[in-house]
Amino acid sequence: MDERRKTIRVLIADDNRAFRRGLRLRLSQAEAIAVVGETSNGRDTVTAARAERADVVLMDLEMPGMNGIDATRLLASGEDPRIGVVVLTSHGADVHVIRALEAGASGYLLKTHDSHQLLEAIRAADRGDAFMSPRVTAPLLRELTHRHGRPARDAVAASLSPSERSVVVLLSTGVTSNDDIAKELGVSVNTVRSHVQSAMKKVGATDRTQLALWGVRNSVDDFRSSSK
């Protein structure tokens, strides 16, 4: 079966009814995407995402009752089948991006700048890939590098195989698609998936976005260079 033909079940979580309505209308015209519900607060979002078996949640950060960060964390830590979360917000500050990614979000888009990338982000989240707004990716990586400095090389970083390290380097520099990583390394997509999974286990990351953040914080690119 062609995975691109799978219907992706999307839940819209935003406390602005007009925004939800516009988003639903747009997604209703997209191929292989079905909106399975709308919610206006974090607690209802968690409940509805599980009840409706959503594949992807479009998550606003500021909602009453429970915010989008806490709702994302609950969805990411649940025992249910994996639900991808794409944050769709007006807030592009590094602190918001970092909190969302550390909570388990696999995508981050800005409402005012990235609407043209929404479908691509939804499909990436459904595949288990990360998708970041170009307006936050570079500043985020600079902030993480500045914040954590040059951490000591430890046994965990040393335990990565050269192939695993190469995958982590690409992820941490913004290459998030398995297809793109496979092309860069000249290997198959299945090989990339295998390296990502094994690297995640070694560093204790729960998803590929956290693996990318780990790579930045631990200067894996520099580690690779010094290990040659």
Question: How are strands ordered across the β-sheet holding 8-13?
Answer: 33-39, 8-13, 56-59, 84-89, 107-110, 131-132
**For residue range 138-193, what is the model confidence (pLDDT) as tens digits?**
556 555 555 544 443 445 666 678 888 899 889 888 887 888 899 999 999 999 99
CATH architecture, domain defined by 151-227: Orthogonal Bundle (1.10)
CB atoms within 10 A of CB 77: 10
CA distance to 5, 25, 65, per residue, from 212 (Å)? 28, 34, 31
Cα distance between residue 168 and residue 72, in whole Å: 24
Cα distance between residue 219 and residue 148, in whole Å: 9
Question: What does the block give as tokens for 209?
Answer: 């976005």
Task: Name the residue among 96, 150, 145, 125 with its Cα closest to residue 209.
Answer: 125
- Rank 50-64, 85-99, 114-128, 207-221 by mean pLDDT and report only the highest: 50-64
Cα distance between residue 51 and residue 57, in whole Å: 13
- Per CATH, the number for 3-140 is 3.40.50.2300
Q: Give this prediction's pTM.
A: 0.64
**Chain centroid offset of residue 175 CA:** 12
* Confidence at residue 51, expressed as pLDDT on a 0 to 100 scale: 94
The DSSP bridge pattern shows strands 131-132 and 56-59 to be: unpaired
Domains of the chain, by residue range, sit at 3-140, 151-227
Cα distance between residue 161 and residue 40, in whole Å: 45
The owner of tokens 């990360």 is 130
